[in-house]
Structure 1
Amino acid sequence: MNDFSSIRRDRKLDLAAHAAWLYYIAGNTQDEIAIKLQISRQAAQRMVALAVSERLIKFRLDYPLSNCIALAEALRDRWGLAVCEVVPTTTDPRNGISICAATHLENYLMTRTPLILAFSSGRMLRSVVEQISPMNQPQHKVISIVGNLSHYGHAGRHEVVMHLSDRVGSQAYPVPTPVIATSVEERQLLQTQRSFLTIKALAEQAKATFVGIGQIGWDCPLHRDGFINDAEVTELVEAGAVGEIAGWAYDREGMLIEGATNSRVASVPLEQPAQKLVIGVAGDSERIEAIRAALQGKLINGLITDKESAQKLLATAND
């Protein structure tokens, strides 16, 4: 086999592996695979068959996939989820979760019909953006539901919407506020601005909202990234907060905290229970209580997580 033939075969196997991952791991139909890989439906079918014949997917099917599907169905049934995906746990759970979430997000981004998609921020969602294939989809709007500034004006490192817009060419609408204002009066003033009201109205029309889930405690994401200070962490813990979404803190039952920093959150308000599709993208041992509470309080009605987190969530479902 000459070098050119070898390169062609490698590229064909790459495509077959991608098609098989979408079909067996992400649960895409052959029509969806054809759209995402920009090939015909017949070619998508051949690529999946090639992956099977070349044993490219053997390691996926021996055990982890079937177990993950069962866990996803159990989570879906337990909390009445509209969307639930569970991926095998790896050394860094963020990798597998972000790949799966990116695949799910791309299903929306690849559509020709204009859509509005909303996002919080954070490390996990930034990892999702990094997995998105470059494309040009200017018909879509990508909306942030949370600001990206601290009390003191410095920007967080894990903004999502502008980076996603750069990657896919969609229109970007970042929230022009800090995550948490310095006072109730400042929050009220910020949220009466035309730019905020426009984004809030767009977010309410979103086809889907993807959110990260953070725990509350010392060196939690909000604290580590400078959005809340030491005294505010202490205040939230004493108020019973265990988790947060877009800066909104909630307790063990998933109920939004009264007062504390929640009186100054300048993000788009969360619905409780969520009326539209809100997909939590999260997993690791530190965040189990926060994820479970978000499910319990119906702040999210979709979840993309990893196997180990799914097992822990189900084990604590009745606590």
Structure 2
Amino acid sequence: MIRNDPEPTLNDDAARAGWLYYVGGLTQDQIATELGVSRQRAQRLVSRAMAEGLIHVRLNHRIGNCLDLETRLTERFDLLRCRVAPSLGAGGDPVHSIAPSAATELERFLRMPEPQVIAFGTGRALRAMAELFNPTEAGHHRIVSLIGNIAPDGSATLYDVIRRVAEKLVAPYYPMPVPVISDTAEERAFYHHLRPVQAVVALVEQADVTFVGVGQMSDDAPLLVDGFVSREEMARFQRKGAAGEIASWVYDDNGQYIKSDRDAMVGALRIEPGRVQPVIGVAGGHGKTRAIRAALLGKILNGLVTDERTAAEILGMD
């Protein structure tokens, strides 16, 4: 496969400056510092981005370095889909960078004339994607969740994705009406024997595409912060070499799921490695690099939407 030339063009620089200004919210002085140019040149680059039509809220120009990273990730991990968004500079939240590209990827499936079953996990990046995609006529598609929507205290989970997607599409959607984590294996088994839950499970298993968030397993892990594992459970997972989690299922650096007593209580369906249909991870940031790479190595994911810094870090781990 021939790679695109990673050397930046004038439009590359203009697109990056426009991205930092309109999406990242940086000042022209900050953009000048980030790009290593004068303030006057930063101002001209931002103006060029608008004059050339490179910026329409979303980036309308594929920066050469991002294209090169997409190619390298695709070849390294044998991916079906890969999009790398420009990073927002030091201190920028990678979610703001990734979400527009993830929204574009979702729209690609929504435009398909054939009915699609589109499954979703949860997380900040997916929620941001759900806010940004453009609604379309998509009543022929079905939207389904692969993860439970009930928190330990009985409330709905914070980062509900499918409800927001379905609201914008006016499309039928199917939540997973079970706790994220049940108190006992018997309780989880009871829920999964209910006919409505079995219907949702069947839809997830036949999904044409699945979008998931990726969680790290460090001390700031979403599972720990949101109360889905105790500190003692987290410590046990860490001792076993936990690298990340997808839909509450924990795996190691090789992308192999780690067995634990907790497995019998997890409400979400586990994504088995090697799926033929696209399973696209939407995630980025230094703290998630290890988790993303492990999921790619283990073939839990065969697609990825991330930012260029994360992409470079993943490739650099080789």
Class of the TM-score when normalised by the shorter of the 2 chains = 0.7 to 0.9
Q: 1:87 touches 1:96 (CA, 8 Å); kept in 2?
A: yes
Alignment of 1:80-119 (within 5 A): 80-90=78-88, 91-119=92-120
The question of whether the paired residues in 2 share the 8 Å contact of 1:86 and 1:304 is answered with yes
Q: Give the counterpart letter for 2:273 in structure 1.
A: Q
Q: CA deviation at 1:70?
A: 0.5
CA apart distance, 1:120:
0.2
Gaps of 5+ in 1: 1-16, 22-50
How far apart in 2 are the matches of 1:93 and 1:253? 24
Partners of 2:249 and 2:256 lie apart in 1 by 10
Deviations 1:172-221 (A, max 9, x none): 10101111211222222222221121111111221110000000132311
Shift of 1:115: 1.2
Query: What displacement does 1:53 show?
Result: 10
Change over 3 Å in CA distance of 1:255–1:173 after alignment to 2:
same
Distance 2:305 2:49 in 1: 26
Q: Which residue of 1 aligns with 2:244?
A: 243
Distance 2:248 2:279 in 1: 15
Residues 120-131 of structure 1 aligned to structure 2 (within 5 Å): 120-131=121-132
Counterpart amino acid of residue 216 in structure 2: Q
Q: Name the residue aligned to 2:76.
A: 78
Letter in 2 for 1:162: R
- What is the alpha-carbon distance in structure 1 between the residues aligned to residue 193 and residue 70 of structure 2? 41
1:205 is aligned to 2:202: no
Q: Which residue identity does 1:221 align to in structure 2?
A: P
Give the letter aligned to residue 294 of structure 2: A
Give deviations 1:232-269, integer Å, cap 9, x for gaps: 22232223212000111101111001114223211112
Q: Could you report, residue by residue, the CA deviation over 1:42-73 in whole angstroms, capped at 9, with x for unpaired residues?
A: xxxxxxxxx99942339x799x7111101110
Counterpart code for 1:81: L
Question: Which amino acid counterpart does residue 202 of structure 1 have in structure 2?
Answer: L
Q: In the alignment, what sits opposite 2:264?
A: 263
Give yes or no for contact 2:142–2:173 (8 Å, CA) kept in 1. Answer: yes
The residue aligned with 1:170 is 171
| TM-score where L is the length of structure 2 | 0.79
Paired residues for 1:1-319 under 5 Å: 54-57=51-54, 65-90=63-88, 91-317=92-318
Which is richer in helix?
A: 1
- Decide whether the 8 Å contact of 1:279 with 1:304 is kept in 2: yes
1:137-167: per-residue Cα shift (whole Å, max 9, x none)? 2211100000122233222210111111111
Match for 2:182: what amino acid? A
Q: Distance in 1 between matches of 2:60 and 2:266?
A: 45
1:62-104 CA-partner distances (Å, limit 9, x unpaired): 9x71111011100000000010111110122111211001011
Q: Deviations over 1:84-131 (max 9, x none)?
A: 111110122111211001011011113333211000011110000000
Q: Give the 3-state SS of the residue equivalent to 2:178 in structure 1.
A: coil
Measure the CA separation in 1 of the matches of 2:276 and 2:189.
Answer: 24
CA contact (8 A) 1:235 1:260 kept: no
| Mapped partners of 1:150, 1:223: distance in 2 | 13
Q: Is the 8 A contact 1:249 1:262 kept in 2?
A: no
Between 1:228-237 and 1:283-292, the stretch displaced more is 228-237
In structure 1, C-alpha distance between the alignment counterparts of 2:150 and 2:235, rounded to whole Å = 21
Specify whether residues 191 and 315 from structure 1 end up closer, same or farther in structure 2 by C-alpha distance, changes over 3 A only: same
Q: 1 CA distance for matches of 2:201 and 2:250?
A: 19
CA gap of 1:150–1:61, structure 2 versus 1, over 3 A, is closer
TM-score scaled to structure 1, two decimals? 0.78
Cα RMSD between the aligned structures?
2.3
2:53–2:60 CA contact under 8 A, matched in 1: no
Secondary structure in structure 2 of the residue aligned to 1:177: strand
User: Quick one: structure 1 residues 240 and 183, their matched pair in 2 at CA, closer, same or farther if it must change by over 3 Å?
Assistant: farther
Q: How many residues align?
A: 267
* Counterparts of 1:93 and 1:114, CA distance in 2: 32
